[in-house]
Chain A
Amino acid sequence: MQSDSPLIKLDAVSKHFGEFQALKQVSLEVGLGEKVVICGPSGSGKSTLIRCVNRLEAHESGTIVIDGIELNESPQNLRQIRAKVGMVFQQFNLFPHLTVLENLMLGPVRARKLPREQARETALNYLGRVRIPEQADKYPRQLSGGQQQRVAIARSLCMEPEILLFDEPTSALDPEMINEVLDVMVELADSGMTMICVTHEMGFAKKVADKMVFMDHGEIVEEATPDKFFSAPDSPRCQDFLEKILHH
């Protein structure tokens, strides 16, 4: 792979839901190890954008290339890309009928074809990394929201992804649990993981982001370094938005 080409490259990506255009010619590049934080008002297309990156939504036009592989109809390409890209959801989406350990081992055993013993070791290792090694044999609904989200992060990590997507990972959490999840995410960022995070946690963004993206009406309106983004964004819509969420 050429070291100068970005790990993720979206070029003029568009997506409709019926008549409604959720993404309008969106282009974005993310380099290896880079952390991108996306924010913007509700309904602006943030989720749709990152869901296109692992094809939970199929884009209609434009191109998405990840680690040199184009994301298109090819099932083989899709398989390769999904193996590289993990995702953490707002609603956790843990498997409620499986224990924490089983949640973590399912992907490694079935998709990565690891032997059970090795999958178990991997799972316990990552459960330690998200600081809940003692919850391995519980069911998801016996855990707090913050713990569940950390299990979900560990589940993604067990697939040894190169890229992690986060879709508002702390929006469904009670305020007192937000930090335990953000701490884990900061640690991940420090470990060199490539991350795209949709979040309105601006403290987190200032700490880890290499690049800030502001979306509105299906477009990227502002794309800047955190310094510039938080001090002097170009677009008035972005200024407005930041004002609202930073000083409310």
Chain B
Amino acid sequence: MFVKRPKRKILVLALPVLLSGCSGDWGWYVVDPTTPTGLTNLKFLLSGLYYTVSLSLIAILISVFVGLLVALPGLSQKRYLRRINRVYVELVRAIPILVLILWVYYGLPQVTGLSIGVFWAGVIALALSDSAFQAEIFRAGIQSIDKGQYEASHSISLSYPDMMRFVILPQAIKRILPALGNQLVYMLKMSSLVSVIGMQELTRKANELVVSEYRPLEIYTILVLEYLVLILIVSAGVRWLERKMKTDER
């Protein structure tokens, strides 16, 4: 009764703050919301949240879509279609995300002649990188659906798109939801890498503040907490969605 789970979570979050009292090396004044500079600094750090979240969400939406498009040929009877799927997955999976970000931002404009902003370069790089994993997740999810479901769909004359849309994918998505949740968490974390090309998200903001305030310990601790809270919220959201989809069937 006395240690409930949510309370323990809060305890963990509060731990670094408590620790600060124990050591002379901590200087929380840089982010003390009761002082004007501290408040400004804190607002500056939090202002990165918008880009971290929007970049991750847009990237995951695109990667889910691309991942599904890449997964479908991977399920085909035709060998050349399956090979297209394999080549895509193996190639994209082999490129480190950081390298992909740099290449999309600095290289792609030269190849295409189009200049893209930092935000969209980040979205493209993250979405591309994640799409290979999404493709594998979708392929496994779709493959786990009983073949009787396909046969029943054929027997009532459903077209391939209708069968996928109304019969196979709704069941597959329910099964891969936990994996999709993991990918979103992963995406939120990887978005920090886009700071290298100057994207004004959480990590970049923290870096900039460290340069001007010289308090890396406190500022990066705040950064850790920002990601932690964000990801705990996302995880809770995914779990809620899973529960909701389960009870919907009752």
Report A's interface with B, CB cutoff 8 A: 54, 56, 79, 82-83, 85-87, 89, 91, 93-98, 106-107, 110-112, 139, 141, 152, 155-156, 158-159
B152 A95 Cβ-Cβ under 8 A: yes
A155 B156 Cβ-Cβ under 8 A: yes
- Tell me how many residues of B have a C-beta within 8 Å of chain A: 19
Q: Which of A91, A94, A111 contacts B157 (CB 8 A)?
A: A111
A54: which B residues are within 8 A, CB to CB? 154-155
Residues 141-178 of chain B: 1 if any A CB is under 8 Å from the residue's CB, otherwise 0? 00000101101101111110010001100110010000
In whole Å, how far is B64's beta carbon from the nearest beta carbon of chain A?
19
A156 B151 Cβ-Cβ under 8 A: no
Q: Which of A82, A83, A106 contacts B166 (CB 8 A)?
A: A106
> A141 CA to B157 CA in the complex, in Å?
24
Q: Which of B155, B166, B170, B250 contacts A87 (CB 8 A)?
A: B155
B174: which A residues are within 8 A, CB to CB? 97
> A213 CA to B151 CA in the complex, in Å?
24
A86 B158 Cβ-Cβ under 8 A: no
CB closest chain-A residue, reference B174: A97
B148 A106 Cβ-Cβ under 8 A: no
B149: which A residues are within 8 A, CB to CB? 93, 95
In whole Å, how far is B78's beta carbon from the nearest beta carbon of chain A?
14
If A56-B151, A91-B148, A111-B162 touch, whether A97 touches B157 (CB-CB below 8 Å) is no
CB closest chain-B residue, reference A81: B157
B249 interface hit (Cβ, 8 Å): yes
Q: Which of A82, A106, A139 contacts B154 (CB 8 A)?
A: A82
> A95 CA to B154 CA in the complex, in Å?
13
Enumerate 15 A-B pairs (CB-CB under 8 Å) in ascending A order. Answer: A85-B155, A87-B151, A87-B155, A89-B152, A95-B167, A96-B249, A97-B249, A106-B156, A107-B157, A111-B156, A139-B249, A139-B250, A141-B249, A152-B152, A156-B155
> A158 CA to B157 CA in the complex, in Å?
12
> A49 CA to B151 CA in the complex, in Å?
15
Report B's interface with A, CB cutoff 8 A: 146, 148-149, 151-152, 154-159, 162, 166-167, 170-171, 174, 249-250
> A231 CA to B155 CA in the complex, in Å?
36
Q: Which of A86, A89, A97, A159 contacts B151 (CB 8 A)?
A: A89
> A87 CA to B151 CA in the complex, in Å?
9
B156: which A residues are within 8 A, CB to CB? 86, 106-107, 111, 155-156, 158-159
B157: which A residues are within 8 A, CB to CB? 79, 82-83, 107, 111-112, 159
In whole Å, how far is A185's beta carbon from the nearest beta carbon of chain B?
17
B159 A111 Cβ-Cβ under 8 A: yes
A82 B162 Cβ-Cβ under 8 A: no
Known pairs A93-B151, A156-B155; list 7 more (Cβ under 8 Å). A86-B155, A89-B152, A89-B155, A93-B146, A93-B148, A93-B152, A96-B171
CB closest chain-B residue, reference A159: B156
A94 B152 Cβ-Cβ under 8 A: yes
A85: which B residues are within 8 A, CB to CB? 155
A156: which B residues are within 8 A, CB to CB? 155-156
Q: Which of A97, A110, A159 contacts B171 (CB 8 A)?
A: A97
Q: Which of B152, B154, B170 contacts A97 (CB 8 A)?
A: B170
B152: which A residues are within 8 A, CB to CB? 89, 93-95, 152, 155
> A26 CA to B155 CA in the complex, in Å?
22
CB closest chain-B residue, reference A111: B157
